[in-house]
Amino acid sequence: MIPAFEKNQVDDIVNAFNKYGAVVVKGMGVNPQLRKEITEVLNQIEPSVDEGGFFAGHTKRVASIVRRFPSCHQHVAHPATMTILDKILKPNCSDYQFHASGILAIQPGAREQTLHREEDTFFSMQKRDMKNRPTLIVATMLAITDFTKENGATLIVPGSHKWPAVDGKSSSFSPQARKATPEEVVSAEMKAGDMLIWHGLTLHAGGANTTKDVDREGLIMTYSLGWLRTEENFHLSSGTFEQVKTYPKIIRELCGYKMHGGGLGFYDDMRDVMGAKSPGIFGTLIGSNQTTNSKL
């Protein structure tokens, strides 16, 4: 079983996250407009074909959600999610950021996906020794429809975020890496509007959909420390600059339109893309009356 708590039980959620590597937050809700928009888009695309690789077939995937689904913004920056991330990520960065996103619709006939970790992309930091490095990524999956074992609920291996590496930097796919037994894999069953949260080192995968006519639709939203390279390039996927300027401030900032710390991500004259002056070390060194030559 994966522990589940109401969204206001923040301490319980964070404790379960740290202990089990995954927790369900109940009652996050789904914007009715988002549900409508997702249905319209999914009806226009064909499911993927299973080629036997990492991605299972019979699945519809939609990226660039910030641009395609403006009604998802309230979920990307949900106050409950931000409060939880403040506890987990904020101690190790000035600001955390949106890391990757997508709509995933697993349809009947889809096989089980390969177990993997969100932090596999940072293979050089695969130390697994959580005493010596921070959590890099926190992943979330908002259930747009009910998630059941039969329709492909996300598979989780509780506690796998604490498994040691075999060579100091092995990924989930290393032949030497510890493999989960069938008994260790749990289906994250939840109601529409609930949200699964898991650690970047927790083994997980999309489940097999063995039903005849029930799709499993979810919105994946992952977040990372603000000084990391994001998996999704939000400066391109979020839309044109004119579009981005119309988004709520918190969405712009989560998508990287803000400097991190003293100056990561400056654009011109030590300002970020939205025009804010660097408040950190570079601003101090350069001085408030000195500027760079923007014509150079």
- Rg, C-alpha atoms of the chain: 20
The ranges of the chain with pLDDT < 50 are: 280-296
* Per-residue model confidence (pLDDT) at position 171: 66
Residues 234 and 266 placed together within one structural domain of the fold: no
Alpha helices in 73-117 (DSSP H): 73-76, 79-88
Residues 233 and 290 placed together within one structural domain of the fold: no
Residues 253 and 296 placed together within one structural domain of the fold: no
Residues 12 and 111 placed together within one structural domain of the fold: yes
Residues 220 and 268 placed together within one structural domain of the fold: no
Residues 247 and 209 placed together within one structural domain of the fold: yes
Residues 239 and 271 placed together within one structural domain of the fold: no
* Per-residue model confidence (pLDDT) at position 78: 98
pTM: 0.91
Residues 253 and 266 placed together within one structural domain of the fold: no
| Predicted confidence (pLDDT) per residue in 226-237, tens digit | 999 999 999 999
* Per-residue model confidence (pLDDT) at position 80: 98
| Predicted confidence (pLDDT) per residue in 42-94, tens digit | 999 999 998 888 888 999 999 999 999 999 999 999 999 999 999 999 999 99
CA–CA separation, 29 vs 6, rounded Å? 12
Q: How many domains does the chain have?
A: 2
Question: For residue 159, what is the domain's CATH number?
Answer: 2.60.120.620
CA–CA separation, 259 vs 243, rounded Å? 19
Closest CA to 226 of 195, 158, 272: 272
* Per-residue model confidence (pLDDT) at position 29: 98
Residues 248 and 294 placed together within one structural domain of the fold: no
Residues 146 and 292 placed together within one structural domain of the fold: no
Domain that holds residue 233: 4-258
Residues 218 and 280 placed together within one structural domain of the fold: no
* Per-residue model confidence (pLDDT) at position 276: 64
Residues 130 and 49 placed together within one structural domain of the fold: yes
Number of H helices, E strands in the chain: 9, 10
Q: Which helix (DSSP H) or strand (DSSP E) does residue 75 occupy?
A: helix 73-76
For residue 213, the Cα-to-chain-centroid distance in whole angstroms is: 28
Mean pLDDT of the chain: 89
